[in-house]
Amino acid sequence: TFHMSQSTKLLEPYKLGALTLSNRLVMAPLTRNRAPDAIPTALMAEYYAQRTSEGGFLIGEATIAAPNGNGYLGAPGLFDDSQIEGWKHVTDAVHAKGGKIFLQLYHAGRQSNVDVQPAGSIPVGPSEVLHGGVAYTNDGWVPNTPNRALTIEEIAGLVESFRTAAERGVKAGFDGVELHGANGYLVDQFLRTTSNTRTDEYGGSRSNRLRFLKEVVDAVSDEVGAERTAIRLAPFLTARGMACPDILPTILEAAEYLQAKGIGYLHLVEADWDDAPVFTESFRQAIRQRFSRPIIVAGNYDRARAEWVIGKGYADL
């Protein structure tokens, strides 16, 4: 339990861009599956309000950026104007209690099933690579439907989808936008040699595999401002067929780009699955050398471990 009298960096106020946070504890983005037809509900507004404190920071649940971007029945979206109003109730409820909230935008890519795709279409991804992932449908957890590879034109369309979804997010009152580049979803699928076997400008070399991430970051930054743009990455993820031998150098290169871009923060996913490899201290040092802006870490943190990671300067939130 926290005793407020004890000195702790965790409970100190923190300046995140233009936002003043009352402490360094953040509510992680948690998938809720409570949005029928991808439209946020009053229940969601209540849920977020319950978790808001004065000056506290929340990250919203993974929100679908394009009509073919879902992998979970009941996930909310911002790919259509009809979804803005429901999100306004959520952000209003958080702001009424003095909290701050970022939208998290995602596209599941190949991590999906025809049952949660528009008109039963085939899920898309960088390449056609079979893997062992599952999606959540009316029948519960089911194996992913084998995906097809995106065309160059479709990739450009998806970049634009992230931009317009971010635009809707600002209209809905979010304080910023976090891109979901982790956990085996579309941005992550482009980064890894295991899921990306393309031979065009989006595959092969490290810079090619980083191209989609950079284009999405650029599009969203141009729309909402770099300071209100953030990204979540999962360097040590191996689940969902994502064990790429080149992922750590790829993410370090991404960090250099994100630093130069001046984004609001970098959010790193740590242990989340039973077999999740542990972050090495050398990697924490390597990413901090490249990214001096705010870093958020999430995954199995208790108070002592949180104090350690912030005390060492490896993370800020």
Please list the active-site residues.
185
Quote the CA–CA distance of 211 and 208 in Å, as a whole number: 5
Mapped onto helix, strand or coil, the DSSP state of residue 30 is coil
Phi, psi of 135 (to 5 degrees): -120, 165
Residue 273: C-alpha distances to residues 57, 112, 238, 268, 299 (Å): 25, 19, 9, 14, 9
Determine the residue type at 42.
A
DSSP conformation letters of 209-246? HTHHHHHHHHHHHHHH-GGGEEEEE-TT--TTTT--TT
Widest distance between CA atoms in the chain? 59
Considering only CA atoms, which of 50, 56, 88 is closest in space to residue 174? 88
What's the alpha-carbon Rg for the chain, to the nearest Å? 19
Q: Where are the alpha helices (DSSP H) in 14-135?
A: 42-50, 84-96
Number of H helices, E strands in the chain: 9, 13
First CA to last CA distance, the chain: 19
**3-10, long-range: CB < 8 A, 24+ apart:** 8/307, 9/307, 9/310, 9/311, 10/303, 10/306, 10/307, 10/310
